[in-house]
Amino acid sequence: MEKQDTTIMEVSNQPTQIFLHTNIRCLRKQLNLSQEELAGRVGLNRGNIASYEKGSAEPKICNLLRLANFFKISIIDLTQKDLSKPDELDDAHSSYQKLSNSDQELILQFFTKAKEIQEVIQSIHCCHQFKTRSMNDLPKDMQIMMVNFEQLFDASQMLMRNHQALMDFIKCRLK
């Protein structure tokens, strides 16, 4: 029994091969798009796409989602399957189609809304920091409010990270 557990452990500790950079290039070329055209369609710049294809940079999760949605495949397929093989690409596209168009659109709307909310929270925090720098010798109650605001900001950041992780999990599981 101990030998079997060791074997399972050895298998689960093997590194996963990442195909992201080759998959982005392969999928882009299949659609006869330049790096500039792909970047425009997913809201990035050509330099981002070039860096991703070279493997010198990895996209943020929101950019990874944009690419996966554009190519109509899951993030897992985009990163972990060799999509230069026709069978792998067919499997990736069929798994993406398991979600209805309205479900795919709804998930994308949630991600878009989450990004907007994150930007609003960041803006409010930036404004708060600007205002507090210009104030001298604050009364005790204002100091307490500032500490409370920072705690709320930290809590909102954690909530946004958890929301993003949950959305990623749901999207992957639905595929």
pLDDT tens for each residue of 130-170: 888 877 777 888 888 888 898 999 888 888 888 877 777 66
Q: What is the mean pLDDT of the chain?
A: 78
Q: How confident is the model at residue 25 (pLDDT cuts 50, 70, 90)?
A: very high
Per-residue model confidence (pLDDT) at position 51: 93
Sketch the domain layout of the chain as residue ranges: 13-96, 101-174
Chain length of the chain: 175
Stronger pLDDT, 92 or 112, i.e. the higher one: 112
Q: Find how far residue 52's CA is from the centre of its chain.
A: 14
For 53-107, give the DSSP string.
HHTS----HHHHHHHHHHHTS-HHHHHHS-TTSHHHHHHHHHHHTTS-HHHHHHH
CA distance 170 to 168: 6
Stronger pLDDT, 143 or 7, i.e. the higher one: 143
Per-residue model confidence (pLDDT) at position 174: 56
Within 10 Å of residue 83's Cβ, how many Cβ atoms? 24
56 φ, ψ (degrees, to nearest 5): -85, -10
DSSP letter for 137, please.
Answer: S
CA distance 42 to 87: 25
Which homologous superfamily does the CATH classification assign to the domain defined by 13-96?
A: lambda repressor-like DNA-binding domains (1.10.260.40)
CA distance 159 to 155: 6
Stronger pLDDT, 104 or 13, i.e. the higher one: 104
CA distance 92 to 77: 6
Stronger pLDDT, 126 or 13, i.e. the higher one: 126
Residue with token string 């996963």: 16
- Confidence check: pLDDT of 119 > 80: yes
Stronger pLDDT, 103 or 25, i.e. the higher one: 25
- Confidence check: pLDDT of 123 > 60: yes
